[in-house]
C-alpha cells in the first residue's frame, strides 16, 4: 500500500520513475559544398549546446559522402524519472572540420517535451565552410 501511495504522490507532482532515453539533439542530415563542389569525406558532428567551445563535448559524428551528403544520429541521454508534460529548449550546433579545426556551420534550438527531446528530423544545406556560416536549416 505504501508503494502505491508513493507512486500516486509522484504521479501527482508530474514525476514518475520510468527509466527511458531522450534525445538532446534532433536527427540531422544535409549537404555541404564549397563554391558549388561537394565537400567529400568531410568530418562533421552535432554537439548539444550553442556556442560550444571548439565543438567539444558530447557529440554524434559522421562524414560526408562523395556528394557532400551526411547523416548524424541524435545524441541520447538516459533518464530515470519521467517528467509529465514538461517542455524545454534543446540547443544544438553542427560543426565541420576545416583546416584542422572545428567550425560551427549551423546552430538552432528545438522546443520539445523534456521526456522525448527533439524527435523530428532536420535538414541542413551549406554552400560555404566559413566559421559561423548560417547554413539553411529546415524541419523535415
Topology of the domain covering 19-139? Immunoglobulin-like (2.60.40)
Domains of the chain: which residue ranges?
19-139
Q: Does residue 47 surpass a pLDDT of 70?
A: yes
pLDDT tens digits, 1-12: 676 665 555 555
Q: Does residue 124 surpass a pLDDT of 70?
A: yes
Q: What's residue 40's pLDDT?
A: 94
Long-range contacts of the stretch 9-15 (C-beta < 8 A, 24+): 11/84, 14/83, 14/84, 14/85, 14/86, 15/81, 15/82, 15/83, 15/84
Amino acid at each position: 500500500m505504501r508503494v502505491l501511495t508513493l507512486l500516486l504522490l509522484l504521479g501527482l507532482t508530474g514525476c514518475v520513475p520510468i527509466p527511458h532515453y531522450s534525445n538532446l539533439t534532433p536527427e540531422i542530415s544535409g549537404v555541404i559544398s564549397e563554391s558549388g563542389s561537394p565537400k567529400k569525406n568531410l568530418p562533421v558532428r552535432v554537439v548539444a549546446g550553442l556556442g560550444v567551445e571548439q565543438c567539444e563535448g558530447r557529440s554524434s559524428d559522421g562524414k560526408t559522402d562523395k556528394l557532400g551528403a551526411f547523416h548524424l544520429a541524435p545524441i541520447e541521454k538516459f533518464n530515470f524519472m519521467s517528467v509529465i508534460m514538461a517542455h524545454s529548449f534543446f540547443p544544438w550546433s553542427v560543426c565541420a572540420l576545416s583546416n584542422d579545426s572545428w567550425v560551427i556551420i549551423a546552430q538552432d534550438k528545438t522546443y520539445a517535451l523534456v521526456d522525448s527531446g527533439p524527435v523530428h528530423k532536420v535538414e541542413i544545406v551549406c554552400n560555404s565552410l566559413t566559421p559561423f556560416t548560417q547554413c539553411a536549416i529546415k524541419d523535415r
